[in-house]
Structure 1
Amino acid sequence: MRRNLLALAACGVLALSTVPAAARSLDQAPPPAPYKKVSELVKLPDFIPGIGTLYVDPKKLPDGPFLAYDHKGKLVSTIYMIPLKDLDGHKNIADLAAPSGKVDHVSILFNAGHPGVPEPHYHIVLWHVPVAQEQLVAK
């Protein structure tokens, strides 16, 4: 019995060690440096309905990834903002990673531009929660 418990504990440690340390620390807002709250970088509200509270590494602007959190500070999605000109120019877009490691589903939404990314672009949203939980950032 004890041998089984030790084996089970070892498997648990191994499973945790396969998740990058950064991914574990991104699940709750605020994320660690170099991430900054987007509303402190550009003129946007702290919480954007339909998206949530955004954080980004300023060096990764304007594409992202942007980390989006719900009202309780839980990571709900990772967002990339890809300029329309890159898609029209047939630019290859690869390695759209989810820093948290988990993606439930993906949404691709057109945006005509906003503070911080004024040119037309697409939001590629890697949702970390099921569709039913998108409501966490609806209002």
Structure 2
Amino acid sequence: MKMVSAALALMLAGTWPTLAQEVAKAPPPGAFKAVSSLVKLPDFLPGMGQLFVDPATLPAGPFLAYDHDGKLVSTIYMLPIKDLNPNKRFDDLASPGGNVDHVSVYYNAGHPGVEEPHVHVVLWHVAKADEARVAK
């Protein structure tokens, strides 16, 4: 059993770099859709970028955020405040963009697509100085 677990872990570890390469440039593959095509939001949100999400994962995501050149800058989770309690867990939140440089967490009162109050958990794939790529 240990050998099977070790083999599975090695196999899965090998898929992360591939997945990160697949989502490194917009648009991401698979079921991901531009958020602006799903709800009434601009195509590019200052401070966040151009967002893509698999609609089946709403409201939490992950949302993949790209700069004006279509390069991935962050993975964002939008966790409803009402679900941040002892009875709810958010386990195994993936980082499809690969390595995380730093993390930001902040409150949002709600917006189209995720109307209820929630927190944004932003996994930045770029250095803090490079966050400016989505500032405007």
| Structure 1 partner of 2:56 | 59
What residue identity is the alignment partner of 1:44? Answer: L
Is the deviation greater in 24-33 or in 83-92? Answer: 83-92
Unaligned runs of 5+ residues in structure 1 are 1-16
* Distance in 1, Cα, partners of 2:19 & 2:102: 21
| Structure 2 partner of 1:8 | none
SS of equivalent residue, structure 2 residue 95 = coil
- Offset of residue 22 of structure 1: 2.6
- What is the TM-score of this pair, normalised by structure 1? 0.84
* Distance in 1, Cα, partners of 2:45 & 2:87: 30
What residue identity is the alignment partner of 2:108? Answer: N
- Offset of residue 90 of structure 1: 5.0
Aligned length: 123
Contact in 2 for aligned 1:51/1:137 (Cα 8 Å): yes
* Distance in 2, Cα, partners of 1:19 & 1:65: 17
What residue identity is the alignment partner of 1:28? Answer: K
- What is the TM-score of this pair, normalised by structure 2? 0.86
| Structure 1 partner of 2:93 | 96
* Distance in 2, Cα, partners of 1:61 & 1:92: 15
| Structure 1 partner of 2:79 | 82
SS of equivalent residue, structure 1 residue 135 = helix
- Offset of residue 18 of structure 1: 2.4
- Offset of residue 113 of structure 1: 0.3
Q: Percent identity?
A: 63
* CA RMSD across the alignment: 1.4
Contact in 2 for aligned 1:19/1:101 (Cα 8 Å): no
SS of equivalent residue, structure 1 residue 91 = coil
- Larger of the two Rg values belongs to structure: 1
- Offset of residue 39 of structure 1: 0.1
Unaligned runs of 5+ residues in structure 2 are 1-12
| Structure 2 partner of 1:18 | 14
- Offset of residue 92 of structure 1: 1.9
- Offset of residue 19 of structure 1: 4.4
SS of equivalent residue, structure 2 residue 36 = helix
The within-5 A match list for 1:65-76 is: 65-76=62-73
- Offset of residue 134 of structure 1: 0.3
- Offset of residue 88 of structure 1: 3.9
SS of equivalent residue, structure 2 residue 121 = strand
* Distance in 2, Cα, partners of 1:34 & 1:91: 26
What residue identity is the alignment partner of 2:82? Answer: K
